[in-house]
Structure 1
Amino acid sequence: MRLWSSSAVVFWTLADTAYSSFIGERYLVECQVQTDEQTEFVKHQVDWNALDLWGSTDHVGTLKILANDNQLRLLQAALTCNPPTNIRSIEAEIEKNSEKRHLFNSGFFDIYQNYTSIQARLAGIKSTTGLIVQQDLVGKSHEDRSITVVHIKSARTMPQKKIWVSCGQHAREWIAPASCLYLIDRLMSGYGENNRITTLLDNFEVYVAPLINPDGYEFSRSSDRYWRKNRRPNGKGVYNDIFLNQLLGTSTSPTSHLYRGPSAESEPEVASTAKFVRSLQNVVAGIDVHSYGQLILRNYGWTTQPCPDEAAFKTIGDRIARQMNKINGEKYISQRSGDLYPASGAMDDWIYYATKSLGMTFELRDRGYYGFLLPPNFIVPTGKELVEGIITLGESLNNIGMEGEDGPFRRRPKESYDYNDGSFSTATNLTQLSRETQRHLQRVYGNLTVTTLFAAAATYLFNQGIIPEPGIIAIALLFACLFGTMFSANTARNSLARHGGLYGFGFAQGWLAGPLVRHVAMVSPETVMMTVIATVLIFGSFTMSAFYSPRRQYMYLGGILGSAMSIMMLAGLANIFLRSSMFASAELYLGLFIFSFYVLYDTQVIVERSEGGSRDPVLHAITLFTDFAAIFVRLLILLSKNRNDTDGPPRKRDRKK
């Protein structure tokens, strides 16, 4: 988004400040979130203030959050929070227990292993009697670490049905790769000895990728224990959230802990793993292993609406939770993923559509006491629960039966992820979007219309001499409204003020454009009207194209357009000194091109964010209005310039008058 097209330096300074907001002491705090207003406040803080949301707790409506001093003050002012716990005290307790464990244990599963030890363990795995085990290289990470998958299958029956298990996408969730390594170990040692494991492997080939995000994992061990993302360099740091949470789109600010990159499958870890999974034939289930929460989550995750296979998936999920509960007495809960919080682009939904099979997320221990800092003495108990979950999954799939062209599950036609099939009817019919998104789009375009009217009113008032020449007052109004809206929470309490900021922003834009419009209108009034019509047509055409095209098709444009915007701004600065008319014309045409395609990109981003639960009709209206205004101004200058060039100099008789 270019909410800051004329103030990029200021904006990125603020963004860098937000990105570096983990300063001073850090605290774990539990806060009550019970209203829509409070939910929107938390979402805003996650997106724009780098708030680290750890998850829910046993208590409904309670979130566990890692916050620094400044963030904690904001939370305590807006929410009801329990007394915070300094993260250092929890770390000290875990370190003390870990030191004791090192004195009495030296087994592989007694500690959390580093990447080198994990790779050495995987390299040493060999086939056993009746069992074929092989390691496949999925791909390489940004820092050139190998991403390995272990393929386990019976040598006796040569099953064709496949279960995919991925682990370690989020760096700080150490229990996930540790438990998946335990799963590999137990499947190999149990084949031929344990009837249930033997039955599982006689019926299914199991693929386990224990560490999808090796770079982030190592960084969480060496530098930042709470790091979640991968380690993609961007010249200013690293920022892309990793893996299947970004398989189907992008999200929020690069400073956010939920950022999923500039486009779907933009990361090498993601692209190579997705390619590998797509290459597998007859995948019947895909499990994404995470922590924490002790939850068995099923499709859908992108919406609270049930998927067509809800009945079958609920039966499987409920059974898995019951069986995992029996292992150590720990309570696992089965529920739809979207009921926890809607999240677009997660692996479980991607599996459902990419492989036409069951997709689930297993959130392992615990339920919030240790959170991501789960001590290593929980590795084996948690690993046993995961093993039981995978065995029960196989038994449940066998009970359902796998006959039929598409297996036991119904397939939803091109909805949700590919909400648009490319036909004109779907470009004008938004019923395939969720009702919440349809209502959100109505509010966004309603706000955009009113904001445009305020801009037109300001231009009219200036040309009538009712308001003075725009100067420092207009510029101050523009930035005050812009930043006041951007950095205020999207809550019911702030709604009136934020809408006022939106309309004030439009008024200031119209006021600043007033002298240009007056100048053109004095020479050629019809050019102004022509520009208005052309701007509406361009904006409308690119908007329709966004709805006409398959969802997320143009999400990759974000990085390209951002780079082009930087080039354009540098060119504008250079031309202050060069004063080249050709340079100025090139900048105008480039800007028109950039902002036209930004309409396409921003529209798809707004839809994607809304489907994922992030709905800010004011901020989204500012985004689209910025595109509209930028197109209008550039078109007006170009059309008036072209008209002057066509008309040529005044004739002689005109000069005598």
Structure 2
Amino acid sequence: MKLSAFFAILSATSALGARVPGANSKITYDGYKAFRIHTGENEALVKSKVATLKETINFNMDTAEHLDVVVPPKEVEAFVALGLDSVVIHEDLGADIRAEGDFAPYESAASAAVPSITWFNSYHAYADHVTWFRDIQAAFPGNSALFSAGTSVQGRDIFGIHLWGSGGKGSKPAVYFHGTVHAREWISAKVVEYITYQLVTGYSTDSAVKAILDKYDFYIIPFVNPDGFVYSQTTNRLWRKNRQTRSGVSCVGTDINRNWPYKWELTNGASTDPCAETYKGRAAGDTAELQGVVNFTKSLAAGKGIKLYIDWHSYGNYILTPYGYSCSARPANNARQLELARNLNTKIQAVSGTRHTVGGACSTLYATIGDSTDYLTDVSKAEFAWTIELRPGSSASNGFVLPVAQILPSGQEQWEGMKWLIANM
């Protein structure tokens, strides 16, 4: 998620095309290699060496343990000559992007029929995601409704689905999920869709599912950043931000998760450079997407309140509790949050062995300001507000470009964790 100031400056002139707003030619990344560089206690030295390469692209969150970088073919020899402690995580990034597969066509389900589980065998075009949610709602008409949380800068609906149980619509505290805040993190939409699928299909057949849906209302927004997601599918697989343009600025996009109107004014944890991947905008909440989403969030907080909020991201396998803006501040219920998060990790790990690192966002990973979980904790008063970073973990041989074979396992392990968490929180 967060990228260092060093990499933000680097990416502004990189092959990501951040300085070419409106460019329509698709970036293939053929021949580009991705390396994981182990930094240890030499982070500054590693960064200074990588800085000698002019077109290397940042690829991962910035941690003190390792840096993931994408190197164009013409700089691979120079990168190897740096002698860094590194391993290859993409031998040919372009080939691995193609290996994600062509988007499988989606055939709309028959009237009132639940879509097939084969939806999770591949990635899909954005329009098919929209149709899928319409179909899943139609299969659960008495206990669900589609809603809008505003529109994107390019006019796309920021849609979501509301699910409820026997108490009736809007009668219980909210469980509130966000996906695809960062465009390239495709697996986040698939995971929240899998959770939606299990809630809908399990309500009439699984007493544990019925119990949690009777206890909480679920509000699930799969694409907080629909414009960026579409751009990542059509033009640049590694695009992160939204597609907002600003007068007098050649670079495109604002990081929606550095634009929330809380602690936005702080300086450590976002960038003021419009070309940076973590650009926070000119003012708090000045992205079109957040203007609607913040208002929707306020409506949930003012209603029955928010019990649990999760912002789903990739990658690295983390369960991050508040806060991002401070490495020393702790929520009042910090001990309870960490207890639940550690138990959640255990439940996820029991499914397929995937382990998550658990801890406060800033102290465990990096500082962030203007982010959703801090806002949900202190402004919306959500009892629990977490970021979950999905597959792959730090030992995997891939990054944002997650093979299709891992879509279903990602959903399955998170669903088993959510069933336990929501029943026990």
- TM-score tier after normalising by the smaller chain length: 0.7 to 0.9
Does 2:326 match 1:322? no
Q: Corresponding residue for 1:340?
A: 365
- In structure 2, the residue matched to 1:310 is 334
CA contact (8 A) 1:164 1:286 kept: yes
1:142 is matched with 153
Residue 154 of structure 1 aligns to a residue in which SS? Answer: coil
Query: SS of the counterpart of 1:151?
Result: strand
Alignment of 1:244 onto 2:257 = yes
Structure 1 unaligned blocks of 5 or more: 1-14, 398-657
Bigger Rg over Cα? 1
- Write the distance in 1 (CA, Å) between the matches of 2:322 and 2:224: 22
Q: 1:453-464 maps to which residues of 2 (within 5 A)?
A: none
The equivalent residue for 2:23 is: none
1:55 aligned residue: 61
Q: Distance in 2 between the 1:70 and 1:264 partners?
A: 40
Q: Which whole-Å CA distance do the structure 2 matches of 1:190 and 1:324 have between them?
A: 19
Report the CA distance shift for 1:305/1:202 in structure 2 as closer, same or farther (over 3 A): same
CA distance in 2, matches of 1:16, 1:30: 20
Are residues 395 and 139 of structure 1, via their aligned partners in 2, closer, same or farther at CA, if it must alter by over 3 Å?
A: same
C-alpha distance in 2 between matches for 1:77 and 1:309: 50
| SS of alignment partner, residue 125 of structure 1 | helix
Report whether the alignment pairs 1:350 with 2:375. yes
In proportion to residue count, which structure has more helix? 1
SS in 1 for 2:346: helix
The equivalent residue for 1:386 is 414
3-state SS of 2:316 partner: coil
1:38 maps to: 44
| 5+ residue gaps, structure 2 | 1-7, 17-28, 106-115, 265-269
Aligned partner of residue 116 in structure 1, secondary structure: helix
Q: Partner letter of residue 112 of structure 1?
A: Y
Does the 8 A contact of 1:299 with 1:336 survive in 2?
yes
Match of 1:122 among 123, 133, 137: 133
Q: CA shift at 1:263, angstroms?
A: 1.9
The structure-2 alpha-carbon separation of the partners of 1:328 and 1:83, relative to structure 1 and needing over 3 Å to count, comes to closer
Superposition map of 1:149-188 within 5 A: 149-156=160-167, 159-188=171-200
- Aligned equivalents of 2:357, 2:9: Cα separation in 1: 39
**28 and 354 in structure 1: CA distance in 2 versus 1, 3 angstrom threshold:** same
CA contact (8 A) 1:125 1:133 kept: no
Q: How far apart, in 2, do the equivalents of 1:331 and 1:227 lie?
A: 27
Residues 397-439 of structure 1 show CA distances to partners (whole Å, capped at 9, x for unaligned) of 2xxxxxxxxxxxxxxxxxxxxxxxxxxxxxxxxxxxxxxxxxx
Conserved? CA contact 2:320–2:386, under 8 Å: yes
Q: Retained in 2: the 8 A contact 1:228–1:257? A: yes
Query: Conserved in 2, the CA contact under 8 Å of 1:141 and 1:214?
Result: yes
Q: For the Cα contact (< 8 Å) 1:294–1:365, is it kept in 2?
A: yes
Tell me the equivalent position of 1:108: 119
* Helix, strand or coil at the partner of 2:415: helix
In the alignment, structure 1 residue 254 sits paired with structure 2 residue 268: no
> Is the contact between residue 130 and residue 155 of structure 1 (CA under 8 Å) also seen in structure 2?
no
The offset of 1:386, in angstroms, is 2.3
In the TM superposition, what is the alpha-carbon distance from 1:99 to its structure 2 partner? 6.7
Secondary structure of residue in 2 paired with 1:372: coil
TM (norm. structure 1) is 0.52
For residue 215 of structure 1, report the CA deviation from its aligned partner. Answer: 0.6
Is residue 95 of structure 1 aligned with residue 115 of structure 2?
A: no
**3-state SS of the aligned residue for 1:314?**
helix
3-state SS of paired residue (1:55): coil
Distance 2:117 2:194 in 1: 15
Q: Is the 8 A contact 1:302 1:344 kept in 2?
A: yes
Q: How far off is 1:68 after superposition?
A: 4.2
The match for 1:296 is 319
CA distance in 1 between partners of 2:36 and 2:147 (Å): 42
Give the counterpart letter for 2:423 in structure 1. E
Counterpart in 1 of 2:5?
none
Counterpart in the other structure of 1:200: 212
Letter in 2 for 1:283: I
User: Aligned with 2:400: secondary structure?
Assistant: helix
CA 1:117–1:238 in structure 2 vs 1: closer, same or farther (change >3 Å)?
farther
Superposition deviation, residue 252 in structure 1: 3.4
Task: Tell me whether 1:366 sits opposite 2:392 in the alignment.
Answer: yes
Pair 1:287 & 2:310 matched: yes
Structure 2 vs 1, CA of residues 80 and 148 (structure 1 numbering), >3 Å: closer, same or farther?
Answer: same
Q: What is the CA RMSD across the aligned residues, in angstroms?
A: 3.4
User: 1:393 is aligned with what amino acid?
Assistant: L
* Deviation readout 1:505-543 (Å, 9 max, x if unpaired): xxxxxxxxxxxxxxxxxxxxxxxxxxxxxxxxxxxxxxx
Cα contact 1:245–1:346 (8 A) shared by 2: yes
Query: Residues 138 and 273 of structure 1 are in contact (CA less than 8 Å); yes or no, is this contact kept in structure 2?
Result: yes
Residues 41 and 92 (structure 1 numbering): CA distance in 2 closer, same or farther, change over 3 Å? closer
* Per-residue deviation, 1:26: 3.5
In 1: Cα distance, 2:68 partner to 2:145 partner: 40
Query: How many residue pairs were aligned?
Result: 376
C-alpha change, 1:185 and 1:237, in structure 2 (3 Å) is farther
Query: Structure 1's 260 and 49: CA in aligned 2 closer, same or farther, altered over 3 A?
Result: farther
Q: Tell me the equivalent position of 2:239.
A: 227
Report the alpha carbon displacement of residue 389 of structure 1 after superposing the two structures with TM: 2.9
Whole-angstrom distance in 2 between the partners of 1:217 and 1:120: 16
Q: Distance in 2 between matches of 1:271 and 1:323?
A: 36
372 and 312 in structure 1: CA distance in 2 versus 1, 3 angstrom threshold: same
CA distance in structure 2 between the aligned counterparts of 1:18 and 1:395, rounded to whole angstroms:
43
Preserved contact between residue 325 and residue 367 of structure 2 (Cα < 8 Å): yes
AA of the residue aligned to 2:357: I
2-side partners of 1:96 and 1:53: how far apart? Answer: 18
CA contact (8 A) 1:31 1:79 kept: no
Cα distance in 2 for residues equivalent to 1:37 and 1:217: 31
Indicate conservation of the 8 Å contact 1:231/1:238, yes or no. Answer: no
For residue 175 of structure 1, report the CA deviation from its aligned partner.
0.4
Report the Cα distance in structure 2 between the residues aligned to 1:39 and 1:151, rounded to whole angstroms.
49
Indicate the residue corresponding to 1:483 in structure 2: none
- TM-aligned CA distance change 1:164 to 1:22, over 3 Å: same
Q: Deviations over 1:87-146 (max 9, x none)?
A: 6x24424634737999xx993222211211111122233366795101111111111111
Aligned partners of 2:46, 2:370: CA distance in 1, in Å? 20
Which residue of structure 1 lines up, in the alignment, with residue 25 of structure 2? none
Q: 2:35 pairs with 16, 29, 38, which one?
A: 29
Q: Secondary structure at the match of 2:350?
A: helix
- Counterparts of 1:97 and 1:223, CA distance in 2: 15
* Inter-CA distance 163–17: structure 2 relative to 1 (3 Å threshold): closer
Q: Which amino acid aligns with 2:326?
A: T
> In 2, Cα distance between the equivalents of 1:71 and 1:205?
52
Q: Secondary structure, in 3 states, of the residue corresponding to 2:61? A: strand
Go from structure 1 to structure 2 and tell me whether the alpha carbon gap of 1:303 and 1:50 turns closer, same or farther (over 3 Å shift).
Answer: farther
Equivalent-residue separation in structure 2 for 1:262 and 1:74 (angstroms): 38
Shift of 1:20: 3.3
Identity of aligned residues (%): 22
Q: Is the 8 A contact 2:174 2:216 kept in 1?
A: yes
Instruction: After superposition, give the CA deviation of every residue in 1:24-75 in whole Å (9 maximum; x if it has no partner).
Output: 8633111122337618947x96xx9985241379xx7122223447987897
Structure showing the higher strand proportion among its residues? 2
Residue 312 of structure 2 aligns to a residue whose secondary structure is: strand
